[in-house]
Amino acid sequence: MFAPGLAERNAASRDGDRSFGKQLSEVSEGSAVVSKKEVLSKPVATIEVGKKSISGLLDEMSQTGFQGKKLGEVAKIWTEMAKQKGLTVFLGLTGSLSTTGQWKIIRWLVENRYVDVVVSTGANISEDILEALGYHYYQGTWLADDEALLRMKVDRFYDVYADEMQYRKLERTIYSFANTLDPKKVYSTREFLYQFGGYLNKKGIDSIVAAAHRAKVPMYSPGLIDSGYGVALSLLRREKGKMIRLDQTKDMEELAQIAEKTKRTGVVYLGGGVPKDTIQLSTIIKSLSKGGEEETPHEYAIQITADSPQWGGLSGCTLEEAISWGKIKSDAKKATLYADITLALPIVAHALNEKTSGRSHPPDLSWVFKN
């Protein structure tokens, strides 16, 4: 056989162009035709300086543009979620936010039921324990001499410092709790963290996990071992021969059951990665368990991320892309804010505090803890 010549390749290229052009034409035909008057129907709000609340400023910003508009939209959508009946709000929490003064905001969101289910990295729900024990993180610089910090046993999180010896005490707190567990039993991370929350409450250590225990908010961590929890459980096995086993399939099944039983769901993603996709997959399992012919997507969705979509990763994946998977409703109330979470979260949380007084109708998930 001969390789196709230039003429054949050009013909194939033209066929491909025609096919693509036909697809674009079909998309255009399906799009609504709008008039210039409709296109230019919403003037941009010009912000004037004056005495106003944070929530009032964000309302104005939601009528501007760029990421300022998205910040306002995020606050507006979360406020609406807080006022909904029969809506279960999932929080996906990633990164190392607890080292940067954010953990008490997360604890407040849990205590006031602005979120009903938490899926977190291990770091966020362990590193807050250091401050709950009475220690501190310290302001530093990203231009530090890291070899000097190593000699001083000072750990660096970009421009935040921690005393390594104090950090080991938070790991030993986890170790001491894990040593009370039955090694013959297999735990989901939700069961493990719920029991840990009870342990911390008895000790007067008021962390995020402790607050979730009191508020009966189920908490899951698909990356639990990638943190001080992993260090503590590994040392427990080495030093005492005690292995604590975690069943993450049980977590996934339970998350899908929550989505099934509560019917309407909304999501808040602070970052992305594994916590985000774990929540997204709960809708897929819910759909497939019913035959997979009908999607069961989230009705509300908020995402705050510093990543971007063109690299193909979950942290930057758009909420629009999730529509193709049946994870987010095509007409969902949604907003993606491209920003550092440490900039946006304190502002949005204060706006929530001004506009609402907690959730008046949070779902009852007490059944989860009876499984």
The DSSP code sequence of 300-362 is EEEEEES--GGG--TTT--HHHHHHTTSEEEEEEEEEEES-HHHHHHHHHHHHHHH-SS-SS-
What single-letter DSSP state applies at residue 222? E
| Range list of β-strands (E), the chain | 87-93, 117-121, 137-139, 154-157, 160-163, 186-187, 219-223, 245-246, 264-270, 298-305, 328-338
Alpha-carbon distance of 311 to 313, in angstroms, equals 6
Residues 6+ apart with CB under 8 A from 163: 135, 138, 153, 154, 155
174, amino acid identity: I
Alpha-carbon distance of 231 to 32, in angstroms, equals 56
Q: What is the largest CA-CA distance in the chain?
A: 80
Spatial contact of 92 and 268, defined as CB atoms under 8 Å apart: yes
User: What does R_g of the chain's alpha carbons equal in angstroms?
Assistant: 24
Answer yes or no: 327 catalytic: yes
Phi, psi of 154 (to 5 degrees): -120, 125
Catalytic entry in 104, 327, 334, 355:
327
Alpha-carbon distance of 270 to 174, in angstroms, equals 25
Residues 6+ apart with CB under 8 A from 260: 286, 289
Alpha-carbon distance of 59 to 157, in angstroms, equals 34
Residues forming a β-bridge with 187: 246
Spatial contact of 228 and 172, defined as CB atoms under 8 Å apart: no
**Buried b vs exposed e over 261-279: b needs ≥16 C-beta within 10 Å?**
ebebbbbbbbbbbbbbbbb
Spatial contact of 277 and 248, defined as CB atoms under 8 Å apart: no
Residue 47: which of 38, 57, 37 has the closest Cα? 57
Active-site positions read 327
